Chains A and B, each alone.
Chain A
Amino acid sequence: MISPLRLVRLTIAVAAVSALLTVGALVALAAPKAVTKAASPNANAARAVYCPDKKQRQDQLSAFIRTMVAARKAYFKTHPKAKDRTAFLRQQQSQLHALQRALGQCS
C-alpha cells in the first residue's frame, strides 16, 4: 500500500518529467529555428551585445537602396538645376555610406 505522501511525491516526479518532455516537444515543433539559429555559425553573442540592432540596420540599408532610384527621379522632376541635383546625389551617397558603415560595425 503506497502512503498518500509517497503518492504525491511520485505524482510530482511524473509531472516534472512530463513537463520537461512537453516543453521540449513544443520547442521542437513550434520554434525549432531558435535552437538551430543559436547553434549555427551565424549565432554570435558578442554581436548581439555590441550590435543589438543589426537587423534594423540591415533593414534600413535595404529600404534606402530600394528607394534610392525613385527618390532621385522624384527629386529630379521638381529640381531642374544641375547644382541642386548634384547636391542631392552627394547627400544620397553620403547617407548610403553612413548606413553601410553602421552595418559594417556589426561584422
Chain B
Amino acid sequence: MLVTAALLAGGYYESTYSLLAAAVWLGLAAAAALGGGRRPSMAFWALVGLAGWSLLSAAWGPTGPALAATPLLALYAGAVLAAEWLPRGPTLRALLWAIALVCLAALLGKPFVSGSRLSWPVTYANGLGLVAVSGVLLAVGLRRVAPGAVSALAAVLTFSRGALVAGAALLVAPRLPRRIGIALALGLAVLAVVLARPLAARFAAPAPDTRDAHRLVTLSGHGRTRLWRIAWREGRDHPLLGGGAGTWPRYAVRAEGLGAPANAHSLYLETFAELGAVGLALLVAFLAAALRRDRLFLVAALAIAAAADWDWQLPAATLPALIAAGAAHEPARVLRERGAVGLALAALAVGVACGLHGLGAALLESGRPSQATRLLPGDARPDAALGTRAGFLRGCRADPGEPALFYQAPHFGGCPASGS
C-alpha cells in the first residue's frame, strides 16, 4: 500500500486515496467476516470519530469538499486497524523494506528527474523527507543497517528541514540520560522563549526557497505564517465546528486570489480552521493515543513535521506512522461472532462508499466530468469542468463557493444570487 501510494504521486490525488481506502476497507470487511477481526484500539476510534466529524461537517459547510476530504481519513483509520490485526514483527519489517524501496527508487531515479532536491516518487521533497526519516527511525528500532543507510541518504538529499530536525531530535533525545535530557529540554525551552520574537520575525521574513543544501541553514518559513493566519482567521470565525472539511483552500483564494496554495501547511491549524475545536480535539486524541505506545517514534516524527507542512495530505508520508501506531497496539481479544459481523458490514459499507467516490474522482481526473456528476453529489467541480453555461449554473446551485467556478464567472456572468 505504501509503495503504491508513493509511486502514485504520494497518493495525493483524490482518486488515489479514495481507491486505496476502498481497497483497505473491503479487505478489512473480508478479514472480519472470515474471523480475523480483533477489538480496535482507542487510536482507531479517535480517527473514526475524526472521519465521521469530517463527513458531518457537510451539514454546516459545503458538501463537495467534505465528501472529498473524508476518504483520506477513512484510509488512515483503515490502515491503523489493518496494522492492529496483522502480526507486529513481520508488519514492521515489511514497512521498513517498503520505505527502503521507495528511498532506493528515489535515489536511482534522481538523474532522470529535474530539480536538485530529491522528491520523486512522492513528488514533494518534504514528504519524501518524512518517509525517509521514518525509515531511519524504524531501522534503528529494528537494528537493520542496509535499509537504514538507504533511508538516511535519501533523507539528507531531500534537504527537508522539518523532517531532518524531527529525525535528529527523535534519534538523540530518547537515548540521552534522563537528567541530561531534562536539562537540555529546559535549556531549549528558555532559549526559545528568549529568542521567540527574533526567530518568529526571521521565520515570517520572505526569502527565496533555495533548492540545495543552503536551505538547511535558513530560518525562513517561505510564506507559511501568511497561510497560518488565514487558517487562524477561519477557525476564529467558527471556533467550535469549523468552516467545514476542505474549506481552507477557498478561504485562501478569497484572501490571496486564485493562485493561493491548496494547503495551510499546518495540520493542527488547518484542522482547527476546517473542523473547529471538536475536530482538533479528535485529532489530538488520536495522536495522544498513538504516541503513548509508539516506541519507534514514527508518530512523533509525523506530529512534529505535520505542524509546519502538508504531510498529512500525502498518504505515502503519513502511512508509515499510522502503520507503526497500529502495530504497536497490543493484540486484543478476538471479536465475538456478532461483533465481527457488525464490523464486517460497516467495513463493507465504508469500502463501497469510498470505491464509488474514488470512481467519481477518477472519472473527473480522466476528463469525463459528465459521468462523474452522479458519483460526486454536491460537488460543483464536475459541472464546472463541463465548460457550459448549464453546467456553470448547476455548479452554482451545488456549491457557489467552488474556486473552479470563478474562472468561468467572467464568461457566464457570475453565479446568480441564491434564491433567484
**Hey, which bits of chain A sit against chain B, CB under 8 A?**
5, 8-10, 12-13, 15-17, 19-20, 22-23, 26-27, 30-35, 37-39, 41, 43-53, 56, 102, 105
Which of B16, B26, B33, B371 is in CB contact (< 8 Å) with A30? B371
Residues of chain B contacted by A8 (CB below 8 angstroms): 341
Whether B361 is near chain A, meaning CB under 8 Å from some CB there, is yes
Q: Does A34 lie within 8 Å of B314, measured CB to CB? A: no
In the complex the two chains form, is B359's CB within 8 Å of A31's CB?
yes
- Other than the given A16-B347, A34-B362, A35-B362, 16 more pairs (CB < 8 A) read A5-B338, A9-B33, A9-B341, A17-B26, A20-B27, A20-B355, A23-B358, A34-B361, A35-B15, A43-B8, A44-B9, A45-B9, A45-B13, A45-B124, A46-B123, A48-B9
Give the complex CA separation of A19 and B33 in angstroms: 15
Within the assembled complex, what's the spacing in Å between the Cα atoms of A51 and B366?
19
Chain A residue numbers with a CB within 8 Å of B359 are 23, 26-27, 30-31
Nearest chain B residue, comparing its CB with the CB of A21: B26
> Which 5 pairs from chain A and chain B are nearest by CB?
A45-B12, A34-B362, A31-B362, A23-B355, A33-B366
Chain A residue numbers with a CB within 8 Å of B32 are 12
- List chain B residues, Cβ under 8 A from A48: 9, 12-13, 262
How far apart sit A44 and B403, CA to CA, in the bound complex (Å)?
20
Check B141 for interface membership: any CB of A closer than 8 A. Answer: no
- Asked if B15 and A34 make an inter-chain contact with CB atoms under 8 angstroms apart, the answer reads yes
Can you name the residue of chain B whose Cβ is closest to the Cβ of A20?
B26
CB atoms of B261 and A52 under 8 A apart: yes
Pick from A12, A19, A30: contact of B363, CB below 8 A. A30
Complex Cα distance, B27 from A49, in Å, reads: 31
Q: Are the CB atoms of A27 and B362 closer together than 8 Å?
A: yes
Q: Is there a chain A Cβ closer than 8 Å to B240's Cβ? A: no
- Provide a sorted-by-A list of 13 A–B residue pairs whose CB atoms are within 8 angstroms: A8-B341, A9-B34, A13-B29, A16-B29, A19-B26, A23-B22, A30-B359, A35-B16, A37-B13, A38-B13, A39-B7, A41-B113, A49-B12
Given the interface pairs A9-B34, A12-B33, A52-B261, the reply to whether A20 lies near B9 with Cβ below 8 Å is no
Residues B331-349 near A (CB distance < 8 A)? 337-338, 340-341, 344-345, 347-348
A67 CA to B260 CA, complexed, in Å: 27
Please give, as numbers and ranges, the residues of chain A lying within 8 Å of B249 by CB-CB distance.
52
For the residues of A in contact with B, the DSSP-based class is: helix
Contact A5 B366 (CB under 8 A): no
Q: How far is the CB of A84 from chain B (nearest CB, A)?
A: 25
Interface residues on B, range: 35 or more
Contact across chains for A9 and B340 when beta carbons are under 8 A apart:
yes
* Contact (A17, B19) CB under 8 Å given A12-B344, A31-B362: no
CB contacts (< 8 Å) of B366 on chain A: these are: 30-34, 37
Interface status of B351 (Cβ within 8 A of chain A): yes
Residues of B within 8 Å of A41, CB to CB, are 113, 120
Kindly list chain A residues whose C-beta atoms are within 8 Å of the C-beta of B403.
52-53
> How far is A75 from B348 in the complex, measured between Cα atoms in Å?
63
Q: Which residues of B in the span 271-324 have a Cβ within 8 Å of any Cβ on A?
A: 310, 313-314
Indicate whether B187 reaches chain A with its CB closer than 8 angstroms.
no
Q: Is the CB of A45 within 8 A of B22?
A: no
Is B34 in contact with A31, judged by CB distance below 8 angstroms? no
Bound CA–CA A85/B114 (angstroms): 42
Specify which of A20, A30, A43, A53 is in contact with B258 (CB 8 Å cutoff): A53
Return chain A residues, CB-CB under 8 Å to B65: none
B30, A16: Cβ atoms under 8 Å? yes
Residue numbers in A under 8 Å from B57 (CB-CB): none
Assembled-state Cα–Cα distance A12/B13 (Å) = 29
How far, in angstroms, from A14 to B125 measured CA to CA in the complex?
Answer: 41
Task: Please give, as numbers and ranges, the residues of chain A lying within 8 Å of B26 by CB-CB distance.
Answer: 16-17, 19-20
* Bound: A31/B27 CA distance, A: 22
Which residues of chain B come closer than 8 Å to A46, judged between CB atoms? 119, 123-125
What's the nearest-Cβ distance from chain A to residue B248, in Å? 12
Report B211-260 residues with CB < 8 Å from chain A CB: 249, 258-260
Give the CA-CA distance A20 to B20 in the complex, in Å: 10
State whether A44 touches B262 (Cβ < 8 A): no
Name the distance in Å between B16's Cβ and chain A's nearest Cβ. 5
Contacts of B149 in A (CB 8 A): none
Task: Enumerate chain B residues within 8 angstroms of A39, measured Cβ to Cβ.
Answer: 7-9
Give A31 to B122 CA distance when docked, in angstroms: 22
In chain B between 399 and 414, which residues have their CB closer than 8 angstroms to a CB of chain A?
A: 403, 407
Which B residue's beta carbon lies closest to that of A3? B337
Q: Mark B40-74, 1 if CB is under 8 A from A, else 0.
A: 00000000000000000000000000000000000
